[in-house]
Amino acid sequence: MTQAIYECNARIVVSDIDDTLAPPFKPVPSETLRLIERLIEDGGYFFLSTGQGIENVRTRVLDLLSESARKSVLVSVCNGAEVYSFGDRGELERVFLAWETDELTRFSVEIAGLIEVIKKEFDFDLIYCSSPEEFHSSIRSNLFYPVMVDDRESQVTIEFLSQPEEFSRGSECVEVLRQRVFDFCCEYLRIEGLPYEAILGGTTAIDFQKKGTNKGLPISKLFAKCENLHFSKSGVKYESADQIEVWGDSFSIDPLGGDCALNLALPDSKCISFRKFQQSHKYAPGVVEWQGEYELSEGLYEYLDGKVAHRRL
């Protein structure tokens, strides 16, 4: 493995979480967290970005970091709709919200109406919860087809976590069922003229959010001026794009990947994909494919381990 990829004087790392730092719904491995803390000790800062909600990130990442390391971390959740920082007292504080209060109220009511339409149209049994564990523990044998609904206030997500054949839905697979529901939702939002959009999340989810919200939105707002970064640890300074490094696993621009907005918001920064490139996908010129033995979260650990060792030389 060439050492060139480690040659970066990045002060700030912008990183996706699911399939980059850890598998979906799984905690970040302790060995990865310790290497992140080593980079923070050397003066680094982390801007984490995910489609998940803040409680998901708190239990899987933030609570597992040392108290001192948390002061060098910002967290963007719900695909860029909210950003949190640890305040002076060590408590999470929201420092960015893409919604106005009255917009959130309307969103809650109107998306609740759409969820009920979906329930009737597809004969779903809705289970309102925020984790697969809660979902599976709530399933009863008499359900026709259970679907998880996670209301995160600024984003509502439905998750298809059960195989249809387990609940008398015939041979239709999750991928096909999710696509049918997604197409239905997009058409519903268009006909009703609602200012929201449905996007596919990961391999099992559909997210409902404000139009124009994406992972790049808070970056364009908060990174415009260094003083807007809101890290509770002072002294964050960067002068050029090469002092920011971007990590993710879904950077294709055709079809549009979930992490593409990070690359578009920081086009001159080094951007590393820890998922192998797919020949049928088109990628932005600035995205580098990790060429290690492993990919996804294991590949990121492999990269981090080499990066920390290289910086210590």
Q: What are phi and psi of 81, to 5 degrees?
A: -75, -25
Look at residues 183, 210, 237 and tell me which one is the last residue of a structural domain: 210
The C-alpha atoms of residue 281 and residue 223 are separated, in whole angstroms, by: 29
pLDDT digit string, tens, across residues 92-136 = 999 899 999 899 999 999 999 999 999 999 999 999 999 999 998
Burial 180-210 (b: 16+ CB within 10 A, else e): ebbebbeebbeeeebebbbbebbebbbbbbb
Whether 205 and 231 map to the same domain: the answer is no
Q: What is the CATH number of the domain that holds 270?
A: 3.40.50.1000
Q: What is the CA radius of gyration of the chain?
A: 20
Q: What is the number of structural domains in the chain?
A: 2
CB 70 within 8 A of CB 90: yes
Residue 234 domain boundaries: 4-98+213-311
pLDDT confidence bin for 235, thresholds 50/70/90:
very low
Using CB atoms within 10 A of its CB, is residue 278 exposed (0-12), middle (13-18) or buried (19+)? exposed
Q: What is the CATH number of the domain that holds 156?
A: 3.30.1240
Q: Is the pLDDT of residue 232 over 90?
A: no
pLDDT digit string, tens, across residues 139-187 = 887 778 899 999 999 999 999 998 766 665 556 788 899 999 999 999 9
| Mean pLDDT in residue range 297-302 | 97
C-alpha dist (Å) from residue 196 to 209, 262, 287:
5, 21, 29
Q: Which residues contact 33 (CB under 8 A, 6 or more apart)?
A: 61, 64, 65
Lowest mean pLDDT among 6-20, 35-49, 99-113, 223-237: 223-237
Token pair, residue 98, equals 């893409």
Token pair, residue 80, equals 């860029």
Look at residues 176, 210, 244 and tell me which one is the last residue of a structural domain: 210
Q: Where are the beta strands (DSSP E) in the chain?
A: 12-16, 45-49, 73-77, 82-86, 92-97, 125-128, 146-151, 156-159, 196-201, 205-210, 244-248, 252-254, 270-273, 282-283, 287-289
